[in-house]
Amino acid sequence: MTVSEKKPMQTKNKVLIAAVSLIVVAGIACGVYFGVHNKSVNNNVSNSTSNNSTSGSTSSLVSPTPTLAGATPTPTNVLPSGQNGTMINGTLFPYYTLTGEAPVPVGIPGTVYTTCKTPGTFSISFDDGPSDYTHELLDLLDKENLKVTFFVNGNNQGCIYDPKVQSVLKRAYQSGHQIASHTWSHPKLTTLTTQGITTEMTRLEQAFMDVLGVVPRYMRPPYGDGTFGPAAKDAVVQSTLKGLGYVITTWDMATTDADIDDNNTPHKLTDEALMKIEQGQVTSVVNAGAKGATHMELMHDTYMRTVRIMAPWSINYAKGLGYKIVPVATCLGDEDPRTWYQKIGPPSANPPTTCTK
């Protein structure tokens, strides 16, 4: 190749090298620019999230984690839009605004309480439900602005997982009433082994977590069995329940509706005759006690006449005597609803709809 032929070639190579160099420099410049820009954006998002976390809210830039069907939602304490109350570990206490640390519970696990401890209180509680009449009872309690205790079974009058039962149970809980355990299937606990008692309680615990997101601290043994003797059998029941963290409550007055009412038509007793007996059970206890003595009254929301006649009468009677009507836990000194439950977490995203034997 001659010298004259090399010059054009060298010129072309220089141009090519210069063009490549220009592209490389431009690429580096763009990379630096976008790297700095993205870092700035990320810092802004991080700062925004940090600031919102400090103030107790969640940044709108953070998308919620999707929940798979059948899975338990990730716990969150962010209150749903339009809801009032307090979120605790992913479950809602709609009726209550709770601040600060939960107080130390007053009720002692394994101890049997038969009447209230807080002066001037009168607790009203209902066993064996929910039932077809519980919505009517909740309407009455809403109207009276009263809170009571429901001792709930898992599979007795109806299956706790039945959508209709779930609906009324959620309504009772979300209205601020205390939800307590009455065992899974309503057996006499003194007839069971320690393992049998444990199964009765833990099976219902799982149902409560599935439907409501709480496990109660309070329970009532069916028939009061395990609290009236014989001592040896009672000791097994009470020690087992203590190990499971349960405060045991019975009653000092019972309307005896479960013993004498006939929920079918025709009734064995007229309304007047039935109410005379049931009201007499209440007034006799009050009249026999000291003036202003506290009381725990037991009824069942599974009886139509209890819900429609006896419950309104009991409310008016207790109010007329100057009592403050409260849930069982409250009358024992556990006023903060967080102390009513030994476990609080998010309910199941897709609970069962039937009970299996």
Catalytic residue positions, numbered: 127, 300
Contact 286, 321 (CB under 8 A): yes
Q: Cα dist. 265→53, 81, 193, 269, 320 in Å?
A: 60, 46, 39, 10, 33
Between CA 148 and CA 88 the distance in angstroms is 22
Task: Give the phi and the psi of residue 187 in degrees, each rounded to 5.
Answer: -90, 170
Q: Output the CA torsion 135→137→139→145 (10° steps).
A: -140
Amino acid residing at 225: D
Contact 255, 306 (CB under 8 A): yes
If you compute the radius of gyration of the chain from its CA atoms, what whole number of angstroms results?
32
Contact 355, 156 (CB under 8 A): no
